[in-house]
Amino acid sequence: MKKSYMMKNNNLITVIPARMDSVRLPNKPMKIIAGKPMIVHVWKQAMAAKLGPVLVACDNISIMNAIQDEGGIAMLTDSKLASGSDRIYAALCEFDPDETYRRVINLQGDLPDIPPNYLVLLANMMRTEASDLCTLVAPCEEKEITAQQVVKAVVSWDTKNLNLGFPIGRAHYFSRAPIPFGSEVFWHHIGIYGWQRVALKKFVESDPSTLEKTEKLEQLRALELGMIIAAGKVDTPTIGVDTEEDLINIQKKFKSKKEV
């Protein structure tokens, strides 16, 4: 993968949804990694991408205080909002009612080691691709192919479209199952999205779809609405922190990086 070029702020904002009521890892955003809450690490990675403002959309005053103590921007949103997409849209409407920002990166609040360059790649795709939203995928490791917590993407690759220096395709489906059958490479979906704001508005104003509820994958609603999802290929997935085991592993990773 070639190094991408840095795009100028093209009416783009990054919004990070964060909520405390995680079933598998309660109080997840405030779990400490290398001396800082997890949400602070995610915010710092987003800031390092230098793509424009970064807004944390949260449901708890402790998250807001943690970000504001670092000099960042955070807004409280309704704790009863159904999804991260609903949360970022609610915060965005309050923060930017005039719709200055027409492109929105949805960065999950449990990706403390997301490479800033991944966000740059996503932003560049948003500027050049004729899609409603875009996302990233990476080749699955062998152990991930049958792992239900790893979402697999079915992507058709456009071999002619290399203007950004890395492969881009169209995502046709997402599943926790190992699909497509007979594939030599399975694609690990990285749960970050670049939305055209008008598409995000249509998405949150639509009811959860049948496939979305079946697979418990929000992006399937977009596909059932007929939206085009572009997928960019990166070399390595970034792993979300969903369980206590994930937290211990990421704490070890950050400690080893600090000691180097």
pLDDT digits (tens, 9 = 90+) for 105-146: 999 999 999 999 999 999 999 987 789 999 999 999 999 999
Q: Domain boundaries in the chain?
A: 9-114, 115-237
CB of 91 closer than 8 Å to CB of 57: yes
Residue 123 identity (one-letter amino acid): A
Given CATH 1.10.10.10, say whether it is the number of domain 9-114. Answer: no
Element (H, E) at 154: strand 152-157
pLDDT, tens digit (0-9, with 9 covering 90-100), for 193-247: 999 999 999 999 999 999 999 999 999 999 999 999 999 999 999 988 989 999 9
Can you give the pLDDT at residue 7?
39
Q: How many CB atoms lie within 10 A of CB 181?
A: 6
Q: What CATH superfamily classification does 115-237 receive?
A: Spore Coat Polysaccharide Biosynthesis Protein SpsA; Chain A (3.90.550.10)
Read off the tokens for 214: 């079946």
Which token pair is 126?
């948003």
Structure-token pair, residue 212: 């979305």
pLDDT tens column, 150-204: 999 999 997 655 566 778 999 999 999 999 999 999 999 998 999 999 999 999 9
Same CATH fold assignment for domains 9-114 and 115-237:
yes
**In this structure, how many other beta carbons lie within 10 angstroms of the beta carbon of residue 2?**
8
Residues whose CB falls within 8 Å of the CB of residue 201, separated by 6 or more in sequence, listed in order: 89
